[in-house]
Structure 1
Amino acid sequence: MADDDPDFTVPVGLFQDVEDLKAQLAQLTAQMTRLTENVGTVLGEGAAGAEEEAADDSEAEEGEPEAEFPPFILLLDSPQYDEELRALIEWVEGVLVPGYLAEPSSDARWCHLWFEHPVAVARLHAAWLAWQELTDPATCGYTGPSVWHRDHLDPCMRELRGSGGPFAGCTKREHEVIHRMPGLVPSAWRAGDDS
């Protein structure tokens, strides 16, 4: 009967591996704490900006709490949506278009009225939020831009500019949004939607 009992001996190295993992987890937790404290800082912001931020923090504690991170653009209502879209347009037209977009073609479409395509606005906004974080060496080190290109820009451009993307019906002379707009569907994103 003793031969039928399973062997539950644990290799000694496993305990060391667990302790190593615990130490790595503690280091990563401390690093995440430091990084999240720096998320609100902006490149070039000096001591005056830090003082203003401290004043804003004390006001936020007294009133309603402010969002720690920028909200996704599709979750915003006017006028916040309009302000965020205006800033997104500045980034797309000032950084993305001149720096990354080649001449549109049937394999790589682009619509000059991209901001009228909700899918394009959503994807470009997500890429922009990632760009803001990943181009700041204080929050992501020097590899951030590489990560942004690989994980955010390239997939975004493939989806937007592909033959099945939101610009599929647009050409150099024609702009088509209707073909990509589904009928209204119930959504958890819209407050008060009883559908």
Structure 2
Amino acid sequence: MPVGMFEDIEDLKAQVARLTALIDKPAASGDSDPGEASAETEEPAGEEDAEDEGQYPPLILLLDSPAYDDELRALIEWVEGVLVPGYLAEPGADARWCHLWFEHTVAVARLHAMWLAWQELTDPASCGYLGPSTWHRDHLDPALRELRAPSGPFAGCTKGEHQVAHRLPGIVPSAWTREDA
């Protein structure tokens, strides 16, 4: 029997045991009708974890301080420690890069998404041996094409000169506004 199938069967057995315990609990106490939900009924284990997983990973632009600052700090370490030395050649007119990339909102959003994918797809336990190839094809290459394109977020930046204002939208969607308290 394959290992994955054995784990699935064990998970199913655990779920049946939890459901049986939930059904037997009201019947043993005799306080409520069998079809009535008890106020003391606990959520099955793992359901709370599933809710948390559904919330994460958040779009970095929607985080508030200090969560935004912590996430940006970790992103900067990855970009400057892995991405820049490993994947970015000397910038040129057709392949721009801004040394102040973290001040470009679009760049932060794209690089953060790329970093989240990298974390998942370089873990052999979760993705096997094809993860890195998938990351390069589906995440790195398209993101760098967009970031370094002539109309990308670094379009107004040249070597030694940084400009952000050329990319700021006139109206910012309300979900993206950040108010410092």
TM-score (norm 1): 0.63
Hey, what's the Cα distance between the residues in 2 that align with 1:186 and 1:98?
Answer: 34
Out of 147, 151, 163, the position equivalent to 1:164 is: 151
Hey, what's the Cα distance between the residues in 1 that align with 2:177 and 2:102?
Answer: 20
Q: How big is the shift at 1:186? A: 3.3
Matched letter for residue 116 of structure 1: E
2:65 matched residue in structure 1: 78
1:94 equivalent in alignment to 2:81: yes
Hey, what's the Cα distance between the residues in 1 that align with 2:129 and 2:176?
Answer: 35
Which stretches in structure 2 are left out of the alignment for 5+ residues? 12-44
Q: How big is the shift at 1:189? A: 4.8
Matched letter for residue 77 of structure 2: E
Matched letter for residue 62 of structure 2: L
Out of 148, 162, 172, the position equivalent to 1:175 is: 162
Any residues of structure 2 matched to 1:21-60 within 5 Å, and which?
none
Hey, what's the Cα distance between the residues in 1 that align with 2:172 and 2:164?
Answer: 17
2:52 matched residue in structure 1: 67
Q: How big is the shift at 1:141? A: 0.7
Hey, what's the Cα distance between the residues in 2 that align with 1:125 and 1:105?
Answer: 23
| Matched residue count | 134
Q: How big is the shift at 1:82? A: 0.3
Hey, what's the Cα distance between the residues in 2 that align with 1:163 and 1:189?
Answer: 25
The C-alpha deviation readout for 1:91-117, integer Å capped at 9, x for no partner, is 000000000000000000000000000
1:184 equivalent in alignment to 2:174: no
1:111 matched residue in structure 2: 98
Which stretches in structure 1 are left out of the alignment for 5+ residues? 1-26, 34-57
Out of 127, 132, 147, the position equivalent to 1:140 is: 127
Aligned-partner SS, 2:174: coil
Hey, what's the Cα distance between the residues in 1 that align with 2:87 and 2:71?
Answer: 21
Q: How big is the shift at 1:70? A: 2.6
1:149 equivalent in alignment to 2:136: yes
1:39 matched residue in structure 2: none
1:131 equivalent in alignment to 2:147: no
